[in-house]
């Protein structure tokens, strides 16, 4: 039986990386009927929306998608399609494993940690009040009326909602993930000393769930302190649990610890669907140049195979990527500045290892 899976090629360099990832995943021998669904800038002109209904229908039907990066215009333009997808399918948990591959160790010890980020709330909820608008003026007046701080009349305001329900849900997901994946310690990352009613609440819920899991250690670090320790002693971390914004930032930091964005995979889980995607974006300036590292999307495909229960294929895919990285000859420039190997050639080498079974 073949799996039906939605494939979103994405924007910028997305299509060229996703095509190579698809070849590598197919080379594991797992049979997949890929259903191509175009989203982002690629369809905006054709269909008048960056997220056509048929993309949502395809994901709802297949319940699993592999997605290339999608461009989000800064400042103006449409809202992030990535965020819209996460909200539409209630993909509340973002999971980003960071593991040092042979040949990429930077510090004294290898890193093997996973970042779990709440995906639906916080400053990413998309509740914003534009500077100078009537609603913003009223909000500023209400805040002043309630004896809170004075806000400058020319301020824009972004709202940071963090609920007990969503915090408890992500904490339960994180501790279950820790149990299922032999992780021993959860580090909750917040700024609870400053934002008591949001980050403080997030931490309270995590602590409550932690008490139900006595076999897993739980510690709390403030985000600034966590960044320092992640850089100086990343091997001391096991699983990091964070609200949306901090989770986003620390997962890029952690990606840098294990070789950069080119090798950092990710997954978004909800109760019904899962979408797998790299941590990196669409890097549009490199579009069509065949220079991007395809491994982050390939490894995201490995997480997808794991999710499908194809554990052996996932393991073979991971080992093939690691073999190519360790060999160091057929890797893109981000891993070896002297290399002239491109996206396609790196994927060819991964397929060679997969097929030779080495």
DSSP string, 152-213: -TT--EE-----HHHHHHHHHHHHHHHHHTT--EEEEEE-TTT-TTTHHHHHHHHHHHHHT-
**Chain centroid to CA 49:** 23
For the window 10-49, what string marks contact with ligand NAD as x by the rule CB under 6 A? ----------------------------------------
Which of 272, 263, 253, 301 minimizes the C-alpha distance to 86?
A: 272
User: Does residue number 82 form part of the binding site for ligand NAD (CB under 6 A)?
Assistant: yes
Here the tokens at position 302 are 């490995």
Task: Report in angstroms how near the CB of residue 194 gets to ligand NAD at its nearest.
Answer: 26
The residue (of 62 and 82) whose beta carbon lies closer to ligand NAD is: 82
Q: Is 160 a catalytic residue?
A: no
Among 58, 72, 120, 300, binds ligand NAD (CB under 6 A): 72
Q: Is 224 a catalytic residue?
A: yes
**Choosing from 33, 224, 271, 312, which is the catalytic residue?**
224
- Binding span for ligand NAD by CB under 6 A among 42-50, 68-76, 197-205, 218-226: 68-76
Please answer whether residues 222 and 193 qualify as being in contact, where contact means their C-beta atoms are separated by less than 8 angstroms: yes
For the window 275-314, what string marks contact with ligand NAD as x by the rule CB under 6 A? --x--xxxx--------xx--x------------------
Q: At what angle do helices 295-307 and 14-26 cross, to 10 degrees?
A: 50
Q: Is 191 a catalytic residue?
A: yes
Task: Report in angstroms how near the CB of residue 347 gets to ligand NAD at its nearest.
Answer: 12
User: Does residue number 261 form part of the binding site for ligand NAD (CB under 6 A)?
Assistant: yes
**Choosing from 177, 248, 318, 353, which is the catalytic residue?**
248
Question: In whole angstroms, what is the distance from residue 333 CA to residue 354 CA?
Answer: 22
For the window 317-336, what string marks contact with ligand NAD as x by the rule CB under 6 A? -----------------x--
Distances (CA, A) of 224 to 26, 29, 229, 257: 42, 44, 9, 17
User: Does residue number 58 form part of the binding site for ligand NAD (CB under 6 A)?
Assistant: no
Question: In whole angstroms, what is the distance from residue 269 CA to residue 89 CA?
Answer: 9
Task: Report in angstroms how near the CB of residue 356 gets to ligand NAD at its nearest.
Answer: 25
Question: In whole angstroms, what is the distance from residue 296 CA to residue 89 CA?
Answer: 23
**Choosing from 67, 124, 203, 318, which is the catalytic residue?**
124
Phi, psi of 295 (to 5 degrees): -65, -35
Size of the site for ligand NAD (CB under 6 A): 16
| CB within 8 Å of 41: residues ≥ 6 apart | 11, 50, 70, 71
Which of 303, 313, 307, 294 minimizes the C-alpha distance to 29?
A: 313
User: Does residue number 70 form part of the binding site for ligand NAD (CB under 6 A)?
Assistant: yes
User: Does residue number 86 form part of the binding site for ligand NAD (CB under 6 A)?
Assistant: no
Task: Kindly list the catalytic residues.
Answer: 124, 191, 224, 248
* Positions that interact with ligand NAD (CB under 6 A): 69-72, 82, 261-262, 277, 280-283, 292-293, 296, 334
């Amino acid at each position: 039986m073949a799996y039906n899976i939605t494939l979103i090629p994405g924007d910028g360099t997305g299509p060229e990386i996703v095509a190579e990832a698809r070849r590598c995943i197919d080379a594991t021998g797992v049979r997949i009927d890929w259903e191509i669904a175009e989203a982002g800038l690629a369809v905006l002109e054709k269909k008048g929306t960056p997220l056509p209904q048929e993309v949502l229908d395809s994901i709802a039907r297949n319940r699993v998608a592999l997605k290339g990066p999608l461009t989000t215009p800064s400042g103006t333009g449409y809202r992030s399609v990535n965020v819209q997808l996460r909200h539409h399918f209630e993909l509340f948990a973002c999971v980003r494993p960071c593991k040092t591959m042979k040949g990429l160790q930077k510090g004294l010890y290898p890193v093997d940690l996973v970042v779990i980020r709440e995906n639906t709330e916080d400053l990413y909820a998309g509740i914003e009040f534009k500077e100078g608008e009537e609603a913003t003026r009223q909000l500023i007046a209400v805040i002043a009326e309630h004896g809170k701080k004075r806000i400058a009349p020319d301020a824009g305001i972004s709202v940071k909602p963090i609920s007990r329900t969503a915090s408890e849900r992500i904490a339960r997901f994180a501790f279950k993930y820790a149990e299922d994946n032999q992780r021993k310690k959860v580090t909750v990352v917040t700024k609870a000393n400053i934002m008591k009613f949001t980050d403080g609440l997030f931490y309270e819920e995590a602590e409550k769930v932690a008490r139900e899991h006595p076999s897993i250690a739980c510690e709390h670090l403030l985000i600034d302190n966590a960044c320092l320790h992640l850089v100086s002693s990343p091997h001391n971390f096991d699983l990091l649990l964070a609200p949306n914004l901090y989770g986003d930032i620390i997962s890029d930091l952690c990606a840098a610890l294990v070789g950069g964005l080119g090798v950092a995979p990710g997954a978004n889980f909800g109760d019904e669907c899962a979408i797998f995607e790299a941590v990196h974006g669409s890097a549009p300036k490199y579009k069509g140049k065949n220079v991007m590292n395809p491994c982050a999307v390939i490894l995201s495909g490995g997480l997808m195979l794991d999710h499908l229960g194809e554990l052996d294929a996932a393991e073979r895919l991971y080992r093939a990527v690691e073999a190519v990285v360790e060999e160091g000859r057929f890797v893109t420039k981000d891993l070896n500045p002297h290399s002239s190997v491109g996206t396609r050639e790196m994927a060819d080498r991964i397929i060679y290892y997969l097929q030779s079974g080495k």
